[in-house]
Amino acid sequence: MARQKGILPIEGTIGNITFFKSQDGYMVREKGGVSADKIANDPAFARTRENNAEFGRAGKASRLLRTALRGTLQQASDSRVVGRLTARMMDVIHEDTVNTRGLRNVIDGEALLLEGFEFNIQGKLGTTLFAPYTVTLNRTTGEASISIPPFVPANLIAAPGGTTHFRFSIAAASIDFEEEAFIVETTGSGYLPLDKLPTAVLGLSVSLPPAGTHPMFLALVVEFVQDVNGTKYPLNNGAFNPGAVIKVDTP
């Protein structure tokens, strides 16, 4: 695959050459490849079929997790989060030691590998929030919570320029990857000033059904805004809001 450097932003196919636009600019590649029928039936492509099956499974699992957390994370994700999360789901599936290649899945894989996943590469939680916090994700009771001791926001939050206030949000989800279903609960704090005065103890808590049998996820988002005459405006449309999976619990 090559990148176009000319002045004509062509899209479409000319002969055996296809021109298209991607996130990296205008690209060009040669048309062709192995037929779909051959990939589906030729014994030589058995590994390809197995890889495709697992990649499709990873894609569905990635979409389900994003859908479950969408209400909280829609303003805290980058344009390539789909590909990055699908790649992490592939890592989860590859840890399945129960099923054979092509049949491996998220349920029998290692969902704990999703802990720490950053949804916004432009504003990572790990390089934005430096205040310590305690996380609870209790399968028996269904409790999901975060507690943040008093801290000085101006010293322990790396906020984008122009920020006057911020707030925290959490989303806890129990996800059934086999049935493609989920239960999610969300909550958030009020807006807090980004100043040098210590905060009070901050606590956010939600409850999922107790004694759950599916993987549980807890995500944390920090939202930055600018206050203008009492109205809160998102900074750069939320481009630098960090959001990450901070805890995973598996059955």
In this predicted model, what pLDDT tens digit does every residue of 40-71 receive, in sequence order? Answer: 555 565 567 877 888 899 999 999 999 999 99
Give the rounded percent of residues in the chain with a pLDDT score beyond 90. 67
Q: Provide CB contacts within 8 A for 91, sequence distance 6+.
A: 110, 113
Q: For residues 161 and 6, give the distance between their C-alpha atoms in angstroms, rounded to a whole number.
A: 36
In this predicted model, what pLDDT tens digit does every residue of 187-205 receive, in sequence order? Answer: 999 999 999 999 999 999 9
SS3 category, 229: coil
Q: What is the overall mean pLDDT for the chain?
A: 87
Least confident of 3-7, 97-101, 153-157, 172-176: 3-7
Residue 11's pLDDT is what?
A: 58
Sign of the Cα pseudo-torsion (24, 28, 33, 35, in order): positive
In this predicted model, what pLDDT tens digit does every residue of 208-234 receive, in sequence order? Answer: 999 999 999 999 999 999 999 989 999
Give the rounded percent of residues in the chain with a pLDDT score beyond 70. 81
Domain ranges of the chain: 1-32, 125-249
Q: For residues 156 and 128, give the distance between their C-alpha atoms in angstroms, rounded to a whole number.
A: 8
Q: For residues 176 and 214, give the distance between their C-alpha atoms in angstroms, rounded to a whole number.
A: 6
Q: Are 92 and 110 in contact (CB under 8 A)?
A: yes
Q: Are 149 and 132 in contact (CB under 8 A)?
A: yes
Strand arrangement, sheet containing 143-148: 134-137, 143-148, 202-207
Q: For residues 173 and 209, give the distance between their C-alpha atoms in angstroms, rounded to a whole number.
A: 10
pTM of the entire predicted model: 0.83
Residue 249's pLDDT is what?
A: 95
The CATH number given to 125-249 is 2.60.40
In this predicted model, what pLDDT tens digit does every residue of 70-113 receive, in sequence order? Answer: 999 988 999 999 999 999 999 999 998 999 988 888 988 899 99
Residue 200's pLDDT is what?
A: 97
Q: What is the CA radius of gyration of the chain?
A: 22
């049998």: which residue's tokens? 213
Residue 182's pLDDT is what?
A: 97
Residue scoring higher pLDDT (43 or 139)? 139
- Summarize the confidence of residues 155-179 as an average pLDDT: 96
Q: Which of 246, 249, 239, 250 is nearest to 120 (CA)?
A: 239
The distance between the two most distant Cα atoms of the chain, rounded to a whole number of Å, is: 68
Helices (H), the chain: 36-41, 46-73, 81-94, 153-156
Residue 51's pLDDT is what?
A: 74
Q: Which of 143, 141, 144 is nearest to 210 (CA)?
A: 141
Beta strands in 151-215 (DSSP E): 165-176, 181-188, 192-193, 202-207
Q: How are beta strands 243-249 and 134-137 bridged, if at all?
A: unpaired
